[in-house]
Structure 1
Amino acid sequence: MKLTAKRRTPKSYSRLRQGIVLGVVCLGMSVLGVRAFQVQILDSSRLQAEGAARQLRNIAVKPERGRIVDRNGDVLAVSTPLDAVWAHPLTLMHAPEEWPRLAEALGMSLSQISSLLDRYQDREFMYLRRHLPPAEAARVESLAIPGVSSLREYGRYYPAGPITSHVLGFTDVDDRGQEGIERAFDSHLAGVEGRKRVLRDRKGRIVEDIESIRPVYHGRDLQLSLDLRIQVSAQHHLAQSVRDTRALGASAVMLDVNTGEVLAMTNVPDFNPNNRSDMTPEHFRNRSVTDVFEPGSTVKPFTISMALASGRFSVETPVSTSPGIHYVGRDPVRDIHDYGDLTLGGVLVKSSNVGTAKVA
């Protein structure tokens, strides 16, 4: 008996292909449906939170440092508004085609930008340039480079420059006191940094302030006993004396004899606190307060002035300095010469150790 296979007709092949295609489409629709259900229902809260986290950022709000003024209210130190250009490293790393424009706008090289990105690739924040004029920072931000933005900061400016340099000291790039009054009263002047939450667009630019997380407290002003006019005069005459005598340096301090307040304090050589690029720590030393020396005859005017203030002496009151030696207890006080009888004024003119000891 002979068996023969049943031959499929073209029509049956067409129905088979249609069935396969329909099955694949149904399977695909099922997969998409399951995925849509997962995204919209099961994972919606998590995805929304992740999306918000990618757009919301907490950033610092820098405080403005307090001013330093002299006894008359003349400004000796003030913080001026500047801007810092910063970047979100990962976002900028994914836009290498923008690096040349960014480098040109910031006056940097491509290798510098690449090096910064390598160093901060695992961070959320990195500075590109600090202390830029606001207009310059705005030009950079107008380029709309992904991940690049600017924030407000402050730079310290000293109107009197070198004249008050050693007394005031200076601050660093973060506006923290490093020397002088700026360092001694840093907590008073600095203020407290705030925090705020902001919304960024897909390019990393701030588009909205959402809320204040912690308020910023600006620094408080500080008034000194210095008189800027006296300080200028003292510095001028001290510098002239150094030139005339070819000295290596000199210091001068002027006090109010009634209150003991410091009216002027200056040193030569000085430095420019507004431009310290070529300075060394030796330039910053306030020798008026750091250098130790025996006061010697510099205290005699104070002794004589106290004698006059007591009312028991006048400028013409006679003081005997003979025989050129005087004992205080068992300790001898000597003059280099026997000046004999002097007036109180003469004791100061001759710088008599014996006369001053007797008046005291």
Structure 2
Amino acid sequence: MENNLHISGKWRFRFIYVVAFVLFAVAAGRLFYLTVVEKDFLQNQGEIRAVRTQSIPATRGMILDRRGEPLAVSTPTWTVVANPKELWSIERDPSINKGPEQEIKRLAEVMGVGRTWLQEKFEANKHRSFMYLRRQLPPHEADEIMSAKIVGVSKTKEYKRFYPAGEVASHVVGFTNIDDKGQEGIELAYDQALQGEPGRRSFVKDLSGNIIRGIGVDKTEHPGENIELSVDLRLQYLAYRELKAAVTEHRATSASAVILDVKTGEILAMVNQPSYNPNDRSKLEYEELRNRAVIDLFEPGSTMKPFTVSAALMSGQYSTETQINTAPGYMRFGRFTIRDSRNHGVMDFEKLLIKSSNVGASKIALSLPQDAIWNMDYELGIGSPVGIGFPGEASGVLPSHPKWHPSEIATLSYGYGLSVSTLQLAQAYMTLANGGYRVPVTIFKQDIPSDGKQVIPRTVAKDVVKMMEAVVQKGSGRAAQIPGYRVAGKTGTVHKVGSKGYEYDQYIALFAGMAPASNPRLAMVVMVNDPKGREYYGGEVAAPVFSRVMEGALTTLNIYPDLPEGLREVRLETKKQPIQVVQGG
């Protein structure tokens, strides 16, 4: 009996020993499997649950004028965000008045918003782990919200775009949206280069979402490229001020002006009316966004006559002394009649431009090969985008016909039947001013001009520029005169096209010119759309703007006067008192 009990107890001990050993072996094996075989997998899973990554925003590149003045800069701001999922996971404790509703109430108070609205916002996003509360706040406002220590509420760094020149350069620079993406102008056209590349950092969070420690930067952010434009902010302010004054004085619908460097093709100023302040877009209207200098098209009218004269001189059929008989002051093509202001009789090319004879230009064009005027306009860039990369840049219209009707050739010769932008017309005049050598137009600063093309012989270009000097000295362009400088240019007054044809009480006033005429450095075009005052001719409305802006530009750029000493005091009473322009924010 005792022996049997002894054997039974011995077996029980051995059984327990074996079971314990097996359990230990299984545990050890499992531990080995988890710590060695599955180490990488389990470590990765743990990190997924505890390690978080955060994007490091990259600073957007600055946009600068040619002298390094900032046109667009990014300033650091703070954005307050929430984790609704975390907030709704708070355990309610009535004894200490704690729960999601109480946290939302405290948050509403510190933010200064309605509690009901905020609670509905949290409830609508209760299953999400991210929600914006306030974006792009100054540091003190973000700190005030964070001081309440609301569960699930944190702040993150962002950048806000600021435009020091305000409305003056808005159509050139454009603007970004709240996510720092370009929407208009240079900001849109070169968004990718300006954006840069964001970085990334890792950190460990506990179960409550608190950051325990930072792991480090996984990827360093790279700021966006700075872009240096060809625009001179001094000239931009000057042109904008005078254009705005003219629009106000003549009650015009809109206007635009462009100044180009004749030698390099750089855009030194490009302004429009109406404009907008990119720092405050709360009352922005869509029409104000349009960069009219590159988008809006119009018939250039008499400003194209110098190129008709150029084509005639290039043909070899004419010289500068050739006489054109414009009597009796009109020409008929069936029901269509071309008229001059009166019968100017016989005139040479210079007088043709001074009197702006439609009949004279038409007779010249009709005597040339039928595609001569078209070829001239095409070589000047009419009908093709200028190619500065702006969104929505218009190509203009240069009609082409297998067989031209005489009336079509005639109207083309004096600037009707085709359409251009202000920038395209400025490009054409820049070419004429540059001795007939066309260089690419650019919005970026460059010290050495790009290769171009000789489209008008240099001698012809010089002859035509000299004729245009006479237009300013004796003709309709007198208001474009500048004390101390020789000026060459041409006026244009164009009937606008309406729903039933040309409107005889709506006009576009134009002046295109260059200075100093002895060796042109700057070319400029002023376009004023639909002036509603008593004055509406290009010589009355656009030429004075050219004079005031070009005078300031020549002085600012230290371009020496080219008139003889005794003639430098000659001046017409064309100066107006400019209105003030609000700068910046």
Equivalent of 2:295 in 290, 298, 322: 290
Contact 1:170 1:182 (C-alpha < 8 Å) held by counterparts: yes
Deviations along 1:15-50, one digit per CA (max 9) or x if unpaired, are: xxxxxxxxxxxxxxxxxxxxxx9xxx7999999877
Q: 2:164 aligns with which of 152, 159, 168?
A: 159
Residue 323 (structure 1) aligned to one of 323, 326, 341: 326
My pick for the range that moved more, 43-52 or 239-248, is 43-52
Partner of 1:248: 253
1:70 aligns with 2:65: yes
Q: Which deviations, in whole Å up to 9, do the C-alpha atoms of 1:99-150 show, x marking residues without a partner?
A: 2222222232223322332333232211111010122212222322221111
Alignment of 1:92 with 2:92, yes or no, is no
Number of residue-to-residue matches in the alignment: 313
After superposition, the C-alpha distances for 1:282-315 in whole angstroms (9 at most, x for unaligned) are 22111211212222233456788x89xx9xxxxx
Question: What CA distance in whole angstroms lies between the structure 2 residues aligned with 1:346 and 1:205?
Answer: 84
**Retained in 1: the 8 A contact 2:81–2:155?**
yes
Residue by residue, what CA displacement relative to the aligned partner does 1:167-221 show, whole Å, maximum 9, x if unpaired? 1111000000011111011011111222221234565454543122333221101
* Counterpart-to-counterpart distance in 2, 1:343 and 1:73: 49
CA distance in 2, matches of 1:141, 1:351: 71
Aligned partner of 1:351: which letter? Answer: S
- Counterpart-to-counterpart distance in 2, 1:300 and 1:107: 65
Residue number among 99, 124, 130 corresponding to 1:125 in the alignment = 130
The alpha carbon displacement at 1:268 in A equals 1.0
The residue type equivalent to 2:179 in the other structure is D
The counterpart of 2:282, out of the listed 274, 277, 283, is 277
Q: Give 3-state SS (helix, strand or coil) of 2:180's partner.
A: coil
Pairing 1:187-266 to 2, within 5 Å after superposition: 187-200=192-205, 204-206=209-211, 208-266=213-271
Distance 2:206 2:143 in 1: 17
Q: Which runs of 5+ in 1 are unaligned?
A: 1-36, 311-316
Corresponding residue to 1:61 among 39, 43, 56: 56
What SS does structure 1 have at the residue aligned with 2:325?
coil
Any unmatched runs of 5+ in structure 2?
A: 1-26, 91-98, 315-319, 332-336, 365-459, 465-585
Report which stretch shifted further, 223-232 or 278-287: 278-287
Q: In the alignment, residue 218 of structure 1 is paired with which amino acid?
A: P
The change in CA–CA distance for 1:49 and 1:139 in structure 2 (over 3 A counts) is: farther
CA distance in structure 1 between the partners assigned to 2:104 and 2:69 by the alignment: 45
Verify the 8 A CA contact 2:323 2:349 in the aligned structure 1: no
Sort the Cα spacing of 1:116 and 1:334 in 2 relative to 1 into closer, same or farther, 3 A. same
| Percent identity of equivalent pairs | 44
Q: Following the alignment from structure 2 to structure 1, what is the Cα–Cα distance between the partners of residues 225 and 119?
A: 40
Judge which range, 335-344 or 96-105, deviates more. 335-344
- Give the SS at the match of 2:116: helix
> Aligned AA for 1:138?
D
- What is residue 107 of structure 1 aligned with on the other side? 112
Aligned equivalents of 1:132, 1:231: Cα separation in 2: 31
Q: 1:201 to 1:337 in 2, by over 3 A?
A: farther
Q: 1:355 to 1:128 in 2, by over 3 A?
A: same
Q: Is the 8 A contact 2:326 2:359 kept in 1?
A: no
> Structure 1 residue 264: deviation in Å?
1.2
Q: Structure 1 pair 72/353, CA: closer, same or farther in 2 (3 Å)?
A: farther
Aligned partners of 1:230 and 1:263 also within 8 Å: yes
Q: Structure 1's 301 and 192: CA in aligned 2 closer, same or farther, altered over 3 A?
A: farther
TM-score (norm 2): 0.47
Query: Which residue identity does 1:233 align to in structure 2?
Result: L
Pair 1:171 & 2:171 matched: no
Relative distance call for 1:49 and 1:256 in structure 2 (3 A) is closer
CA contact (8 A) 2:86 2:129 kept: no
SS in structure 2 of the partner of residue 264 of structure 1: strand
Q: Cα distance, 1:278 vs. partner?
A: 1.5
Does the Cα contact within 8 Å between 2:325 and 2:360 map onto a contact in 1? no
The residue type equivalent to 2:168 in the other structure is I
Cα offset for 1:158?
Answer: 0.4
Q: Give the number of the structure whose alpha-carbon radius of gyration is greater.
A: 1
Change (3 A) 1:43 1:212: same
Pair 1:58–1:300, CA change in 2 (3 A): farther
Amino acid aligned to 2:152: G
Mapped to 1, the partners of 2:322 and 2:68 lie a distance apart of 45
Q: Secondary structure at the match of 1:177?
A: coil
Return the alpha-carbon distance in structure 2 between the equivalents of residues 345 and 102 of structure 1: 78
Note if contact 2:326-2:360 (Cα within 8 Å) is conserved in structure 1: no
SS in 2 for 1:113: helix
Assess if the C-alpha contact under 8 Å between 1:149 and 1:204 holds in 2. Answer: no
